[in-house]
Amino acid sequence: MTYPDVRPRRLRRSAAVRRLVEETRVAPAELVLPLFVKEGLTEPRAISSMPGQVQHSRESLRKAVRDAVSAGVGGIMIYGVPTDDHKDETGSQGLDPDGILNVAIRDVIAEVGDSTVVMSDLCLDEFTSHGHCGVLAPDGSVDNDVTLALYAEMGVAQATAGAHMLGTSGMMDGQVGVVRKALDQAGFQDTSILAYAAKYAGAFYGPFRQAVESSLQGDRRQYQQDPGNAREAIRETELDIAEGADIVMVKPALPYLDIITRLRDRVEVPIAAYQVSGEYSMIEAAAANGWIDRERAILESLTSIKRSGAQIILTYWATEVAQLLRDRY
């Protein structure tokens, strides 16, 4: 019998050895926790399609952020959920200094200051009565350029509230450049932009739309990317970087790992990926049915995103995983 000269299994023989040679390791500081805050709530409200996640009251939002900071999470992303009577055709509450999102930003900054990166979603979809990411033209399409003017004003409102980083998520052409110029002119040169550079019109956003009580009519295929397109993602990303994006993001994460890898080979700015609500809910549902090991599936999914080239991961498990990693390492 001929025995092998090379035995890679030697480096897998124990947990200590495997830990020593692990090539890809997720760190708590690279995780960002998305949080929903609902106008008018006095206590958190469960999101049925996202087990373990809630719409926060202003007070419970403060506690969730404190817990995230204590666990070592690198950042939070805040989404505001207005009441239906505060939605309108142009999403005006998103620009209002006293709207739920801007109030929540101020709450969080007052609570944790600079101890984590406070990010805010810069898009109108949660605030519009039709649920689209911008102002509708008479023919029902989203008017790109009219929407840009509102994004500029919204960005300044969020920076004024204290947000450290703005997540330009609407997929309007030119949005990063317009927001960057508005921020600079208003004296917010140090406020960063996280560009949702490659945001796909995929099938994994359903639970999120429940979480933000979306009023969406129709779909967003006119402005979000087609799932079949990869070269387009490179073009969109390079445009955002040229317009001043500090970080670029791919969304969703797991169905588009190849896009993350392509971008990692092309750009020098940090790359983020968003493990979206559908990805979260699929794992939670399968685990609840006893079909998969929940903790292992969570960590494996995050490791695959990191391995593909993402430096930053937005995930609803951020606080939980940060605590797990702290205990493990």
Domain limits for position 157: 25-328
d(CA 19, CA 17): 5
6 falls within a domain: no
3 state DSSP class of 85: helix
86 falls within a domain: yes
pLDDT recorded at residue 277: 95
69 falls within a domain: yes
pLDDT recorded at residue 214: 85
- CATH number of the domain at 280, please: 3.20.20.70
19 falls within a domain: no
d(CA 170, CA 271): 18
16 falls within a domain: no
Q: In order along the chain (329 residues), what is the average pLDDT of each group of 10 residues?
A: 90 93 95 97 96 97 98 98 93 96 98 97 94 90 95 98 97 96 98 97 89 82 91 97 98 98 97 97 98 98 98 98 87
Question: How far is C-alpha 51 from the geometric centre of its chain's CA atoms?
Answer: 18
- The residue type of 284 is E
36 falls within a domain: yes
Question: Do residues 66 and 88 touch, judged by C-beta distance below 8 A?
Answer: no
pLDDT recorded at residue 32: 98
> Mind giving me the DSSP string for 258-303?
HHHHHHHTT--S-EEEE--HHHHHHHHHHHHTTSS-HHHHHHHHHH
- Give me the half-sphere count of Cα atoms (radius 13 Å) on the Cβ side of residue 307: 10
| DSSP class of 4 | P
Contacts of residue 44, defined as CB under 8 A and 6 or more positions apart, other chains included, come to 54, 55, 56, 57, 60
Q: Which of 79, 86, 71 is nearest to 27 (CA)?
A: 71
1 falls within a domain: no
11 falls within a domain: no
Instruction: Return the structure tokens found at 168.
Output: 């330009």
- Interstrand relation of 54-56 and 31-38 (parallel, antiparallel or unpaired): parallel
The residues that are catalytic are 199, 251
d(CA 192, CA 75): 13
d(CA 284, CA 294): 7
3 state DSSP class of 138: coil
pLDDT recorded at residue 109: 98
pLDDT recorded at residue 324: 94
Provide the domain count of the chain: 1
